[in-house]
Amino acid sequence: MKLRIITSNPGKAVEFRHALGGLGFDIEHGDEDCDEIQADTLQEVVLSCLSQLRGRGLGDYALDDSGLFIDALDGFPGVYSSYALRTIGIDGILRLLDGREDRSARFECCIGCSFRGEELTVQGKCEGTIAHRPSGTGGFGFDPIFVPSGYDGTFAEMSIDVKNGISHRGRAIQALSAALKEKV
């Protein structure tokens, strides 16, 4: 069975392949165009993309939207995480937190999937803190500054197995895996 992962980020496709390959899915990376709407929630963005892609003959596919929500910044960058990464980057986020004691944050992920003509959404979350400086070379995005609760290192310092077991996307993929098992 093929499942196309719609993303412009090859790192996400790798995480999906690693997590869902054991279910017998042949994971393909698809870079279909989808206009990300400006919305208040990740789920609104995902539902909009599912709607835009419907009817394009893509077969079975999944896509996600993820965000880093920092408490001291009232949830910023949140749904604007990819934009914030492109514009101010990791250093900009660290500057915004300079001198702040509260460094609590969470990553959230919403996955939308079209499978055998049905659409579903699942979510995952990972609580943690923002490090004072980047560390690690793995992962992508804000991984070098996010330290998940209960761990000493950042996502960028973890193996993909460890990260997928605890990350927001890993948890959402686990929920997707459980939902797809019921449909296979």
Can you tell me the distance from the alpha carbon of 8 to that of 30, in angstroms, rounded to the nearest whole number?
8
CB atoms within 10 A of CB 15: 23
Distances (CA, A) of 59 to 32, 83, 132, 162: 13, 29, 44, 31
Torsion of CA 42, 129, 171, 39, to 10 degrees: 0
Catalytic-labelled residue, pool 65, 71, 152, 161: 65
* Annotation marks residue 143 as catalytic: no
Which residues are tagged catalytic?
Answer: 65
